[in-house]
Amino acid sequence: MERKDFLQKFAVGGSLLFTAPLFLNSCSDGTDDVMDDADNNQNGNGIKVDLNNASFSDLKTVGGFAYTGDIIVIRSGENSYIALSKVCTHQGCTVTYSHTNNQLPCPCHGSVFSLTGSVVEGPANTNLKTYSVKKEGDILTIT
């Protein structure tokens, strides 16, 4: 084998070794990260959020919000909660919640989402994933 052939094959093989993890990870839908979060106290029936836990103290007031895994949970009324993906569908930044506008703005590129997860303003063009929330006592179950 000539030196030129060796170097070409080495360059191609090395490139494949470095890029393979990117391709393999890109096949993930991201739900494993949410469901494996140990702080979620999951028991196979969804994600459990204990409203008495200090991490979720902002959910004690209407307009408050908190994150659990890749989900943003918003207290939208006296007994109503909303759960959406916190990951902006434009480039993956974390959205926040504006109680005064009842919208979820993305601080990175200006996308804005409604409380239903719908895109209000781009550059994002895909809605946020929504989850159902059930409250029993001081426990929220997100599925």
**What pLDDT does residue 30 have?**
41
In angstroms, the Cα distances linking 103 to 51, 58, 87 are 23, 17, 14
**What pLDDT does residue 19 have?**
52
**What pLDDT does residue 2 have?**
72
Q: Does residue 121 share a domain with residue 84?
A: yes
Q: Does residue 89 share a domain with residue 130?
A: yes
Domain that holds residue 4: 1-29
**What pLDDT does residue 9 have?**
67
Residue 76 structure tokens: 């939208």
Task: State the total domains in the chain.
Answer: 2
Comparing CA positions, the residue from 124, 55, 114 lying closest to residue 93 is 124
Q: Does residue 3 share a domain with residue 43?
A: no
Q: Which residues of the chain have pLDDT under 50?
A: 16, 22-43
